[in-house]
Amino acid sequence: MDVFEALATRRSLRGFRPDPVPRASLERILAAAARAPSGSNIQPWKVRVTQGAEKARLSAEVRAAHDAGATVKRDYEYYPTHWREPYLARRRKVGWGLYQLAGVARGDAAAGHAQRARNFDFFGAPVGLFFTIDRDLNQGSWLDYGMFLQSIMLAARGLGLDSCAQAAWCDHHDVVRRVLGLADDQALVCGMSLGFADPDEPTNRLETERAPLADFVTFGPEA
């Protein structure tokens, strides 16, 4: 598919088939994404791929921590400290849209807990990716990292794969570090599920809205 189709069809899916992803496909995706721009070409990204028995062990240990209510301070603040409009309304809309498709009723804490726990099973995907960055790098490198992540997700679409970038893993980065052997000088940016979409998963029908250009673009004079 061309880049515009990849952009239009990239979605954060929460249901994958167990079909394996060939190693050659993973290498092709990551090599293509490594062409993402970075200031002075420093390429600040590091990727840890997990599959099979190791991935299953990681899922089991993080799910246990999740069920016990254990979390740790994230390596960085992903969301705003104080929510305000229009961001709060957007967050609520996508959150409740997802929960409705998942069959989670408002106020059902147990169902919400179980739905969130699906993050830690990679939503059934056969491949888990974890992304880290040197702690001493600054905001510009984090901006570069976002372009790298987007490049991975678009390259995956080019091979008929889907993905879901997941900040939820950051609540348990201590377990992720221990199981995957990540160095302490690396901040965990996020995890990602990667695989083939499950067409029978209800939450995969979620359609997220985008603001019109008029809401965020200002064109100056053309002449």
pLDDT in tens, 142-155: 999 999 999 999 99
Give domain status of residue 94, yes or no: no
Give domain status of residue 172, yes or no: yes
Q: Confidence band (pLDDT; 50, 70, 90) for 174?
A: very high
Asked whether residue 91 carries a pLDDT value surpassing 90, the answer given is yes
Give domain status of residue 18, yes or no: yes
Give domain status of residue 26, yes or no: yes
Give the CA radius of gyration of the chain: 18
Q: Per residue in 105-152, pLDDT tens?
A: 999 999 999 999 999 999 999 999 999 999 999 999 999 999 999 999
Asked whether residue 176 carries a pLDDT value surpassing 90, the answer given is yes
- Asked if 66 contacts 117 with a C-beta cutoff of 8 angstroms, the reply is yes
What is the average per-residue pLDDT within 191-214? 97
Q: How high is the pLDDT of residue 223? A: 86
| 204-209 own/partner pairs: CB under 8 Å, 24+ apart | 204/11, 204/13, 204/14, 204/15, 205/101, 206/11, 206/14, 206/94, 206/97, 206/98, 206/101, 208/11, 208/94, 208/97, 209/93
Question: Which residue segment(s) compose the domain that 130 sits in?
Answer: 3-77+119-206
Give domain status of residue 88, yes or no: no
Give domain status of residue 46, yes or no: yes
What is the average per-residue pLDDT within 183-195? 98
Q: Confidence band (pLDDT; 50, 70, 90) for 1?
A: confident
Give domain status of residue 109, yes or no: no
Residue 74: CB atoms within 10 A of its CB come to: 16
Question: What's 160's domain CATH number?
Answer: 3.40.109.10
- Asked if 129 contacts 39 with a C-beta cutoff of 8 angstroms, the reply is no
Q: What's the whole-model pTM score? A: 0.96
Give domain status of residue 103, yes or no: no
Q: How high is the pLDDT of residue 116? A: 97
The 8-class DSSP code of residue 85 comes to: T
Computed over every residue of the chain, the mean pLDDT equals: 97
Asked whether residue 100 carries a pLDDT value surpassing 90, the answer given is yes
Q: How high is the pLDDT of residue 80? A: 95
> Total structural domains in the chain?
1
CA dist., res. 109 & res. 114, Å (int) = 9
What is the average per-residue pLDDT within 33-51? 98
